[in-house]
Amino acid sequence: MKNRTVTSDGVRLAVYEHGDPSKPTVLLVHGYPDTHLMWQDVVTRLVEDFHVVSYDTRGAGKTGKPSTLESYRLEHLANDLMAVADAVSPDQPVHVVAHDWGSIQAWEAVTEPANADRIASYTSISGPCLDHVAHWMRRPGLKVARQLLHSWYIGFFHLPVLPTLAWRLWLGRNWGQVMSLADGVPRRPGHPAPTITKDGINGMSLYRANFRPVMRKPRERRTTVPVQVIHPERDRYVTAPLTENLQKWAPKLWRRTIPASHWVALTHPDVVARMASEFIRHVDGAPATRSLRRAEVGRHRPPFTDKLVVITGGGSGIGRATALAFAKQGAEVVVCDINHDTAAETAALAGAKAHAYQVNVADEGAVAKFAADVAAAHGIPDVVVNNAGIGHAGALMDATTEEWQRVLDVNLWGVIHGCKSFGELMIAGGEGGHIVNVASAAAYLPSKVLGVYSTSKAAVFMLSDCLRAELASAGIGVSTICPGIVNTNIAGTTTFSGVTAAEQARKQEASTRAYRRRNFPPERVAAEIVRAVRQRRAIVPVTAEAKAARVLSRLSPTALRGLAARF
């Protein structure tokens, strides 16, 4: 690391450089009450490919404190940013990545026409342009009222004496604990910075010098610089509406979300570094990643365009219909089945953006390899549909251990393997996603003749409920689909306990006829799966009998058990 001092408007700025100066320069600007140290984990992830520069802003860390309140005005902060940019990259434009108040002051620099040739791109995290906010707040409504509630601390910072005392007497020494409890920021040596009390007190001048003048008389601040806005979905201070509908001000706009809290650079440095890197590379001429393509604002496209959907058991029935439904909505589809030929048929029907794999979902290693292969060849899936399953009927007392094992290996363990292998990828990707587990109405409809099958599907039902709770904080939804009687080949392949081969064949034929008479097509189940993902629905009974059984299981489970005993 190289340290240097850059003077701007009489203030000595502490600047920190990492990496090769011949590579594209990324300029990181911290917010309040942080210092350049908040970027440490992001720096380590960017430094191999970029010349990474950070600095302590006015009054923070080792940078000097201005002598007047007016010296904290936005125009001076923007001058600081440009002074650092000119010092560390005099011949090439810089890529700015900023957070919180760093983002607010970076907007000031980015929207200054004279800087258009000096800033190649701008990634804004949790810090809107104050002028844009002021214009937005002139349209009062519930969204504005909600943002005002989230901005309560701004009013507090304008009070005399009290906020300074709060920092000196309690906040300064407890700031790390506050961040940990409120936003899940991990405690670690060196953060918060040793100067936190001073930084907290000095930084309140940012609010006092700028909010009232800008709110009273906002300017028209526009930019031609490519802008990427990253919004942490659990941000306690900047609500989503402040990051939406910015095309008027920044027509070259991308908007991405992360299921995280305000200090996302500290809690999710991998994701922040990846998003910044993808955007910078694209601005510099590289093809946009799938994630970045779907983040581009103003592109009109089908709802699942630039999304990757993985479907198990996709060689026929509900799996095939689901693959075709997602493909029709613009998705790239990956289909797996234990039979490669049928998976390939589905992929051919789904179009050029579909791929087929042969996978036995009962094999944990095979599913793990499948997930790794998909990630390497196509990227991290946005949607995973664990659909593969087999049917089994007969009395529980007639079921053999081998029959139990076979059904549970596919119907339960197959779903577990898919959830774990792909869920881990989604969590690491940091952009959320959706997992669909195909259960059955048999999950909540007890039966004397479907005991083994019902048990496997009831386990999938509860697995999905537990997984939904566990993955909510990662922004990953989980839907449980309970189809009912659907006209697929499952009836013809269902095995039966305690019968001869000839009897089993007769029962399979009779079941197939019954399912055909019911004639509920798998395409209608597929439509419900697509809708469940779009609406992030938790539990979806599909057919009339599935819906009726679901209602009865909740209103009168005793009656349902009585019916099961009689029939």
Q: Break the chain into its structural domains and give their ranges.
A: 2-295, 308-489+521-566
Mean pLDDT for back-to-back runs of 10 residues, the chain (567 residues): 95 98 98 96 97 98 96 98 98 98 98 97 98 94 96 96 97 95 86 95 98 96 98 96 95 97 96 98 97 93 94 97 97 98 98 97 98 97 98 96 98 98 97 97 95 97 98 97 95 94 95 92 98 98 96 92 83
Task: Look at residues 258, 208, 198 and name the one whose alpha carbon lies nearest to residue 228.
Answer: 258
Task: Look at residues 494, 46, 479 and name the one whose alpha carbon lies nearest to residue 277.
Answer: 46
Question: How high is the pLDDT of residue 564?
Answer: 84
* Three-class secondary structure of residue 247 per DSSP: coil
* Three-class secondary structure of residue 502 per DSSP: helix
* Neighbouring residues of 182: CB distance < 8 A, sequence distance ≥ 6: 236, 261
Q: Which fold has domain 308-489+521-566?
A: Rossmann fold (3.40.50)
User: Using an 8 Å Cβ cutoff, are 354 and 323 in contact?
Assistant: yes
**How far apart, in whole angstroms, are the C-alpha atoms of residue 526 and residue 318?**
6
Burial of 453 (0-12, 13-18, 19+ CB in 10 A): buried
Q: Which of 32, 55, 122, 453 is catalytic?
A: 453
User: Using an 8 Å Cβ cutoff, are 163 and 203 in contact?
Assistant: no
Query: What are the C-alpha distances in Å from 9 to residues 66, 76, 546?
Result: 9, 7, 71
Task: Look at residues 331, 438, 345 and name the one whose alpha carbon lies nearest to residue 382.
Answer: 331
**How far apart, in whole angstroms, are the C-alpha atoms of residue 502 and residue 520?**
28
Per CATH, 2-295 and 308-489+521-566 having the same topology is answered yes
**How far apart, in whole angstroms, are the C-alpha atoms of residue 55 and residue 27?**
8
515 is catalytic: no
In eight-state DSSP terms, residue 14 is: E
Peptide bond into 33 cis (omega under 30): yes
| 285 membership: H or E segment, kind and range | none
Q: Which is it for strands 11-18 and 51-55: parallel, antiparallel or unpaired? A: antiparallel
Question: How high is the pLDDT of residue 189?
Answer: 78
User: Using an 8 Å Cβ cutoff, are 99 and 72 in contact?
Assistant: no
* Neighbouring residues of 258: CB distance < 8 A, sequence distance ≥ 6: 230, 231, 232, 233, 264, 268, 271, 272, 275, 430, 431, 475
Question: How high is the pLDDT of residue 190?
Answer: 77
Beta-strand ranges (E) seen in 133-252 are: 227-232
Burial of 160 (0-12, 13-18, 19+ CB in 10 A): exposed
* Neighbouring residues of 564: CB distance < 8 A, sequence distance ≥ 6: 445, 446, 447, 448
Peptide bond into 189 cis (omega under 30): no
**How far apart, in whole angstroms, are the C-alpha atoms of residue 150 and residue 238?**
7
**How far apart, in whole angstroms, are the C-alpha atoms of residue 248 and residue 241?**
14
**How would you classify residue 394: left for phi > 0, otherwise alpha for psi between -120 and 50, otherwise beta?**
left
Question: How high is the pLDDT of residue 412?
Answer: 98
Q: What CATH architecture does domain 2-295 belong to? A: 3-Layer(aba) Sandwich (3.40)
In this structure, which amino acid lies at residue 279?
F
Question: How high is the pLDDT of residue 227?
Answer: 98
User: Using an 8 Å Cβ cutoff, are 202 and 101 in contact?
Assistant: no
Predicted structure pTM score: 0.92
**How far apart, in whole angstroms, are the C-alpha atoms of residue 475 and residue 254?**
20
Backbone angles phi, psi at 485, to 5 degrees: -85, 110
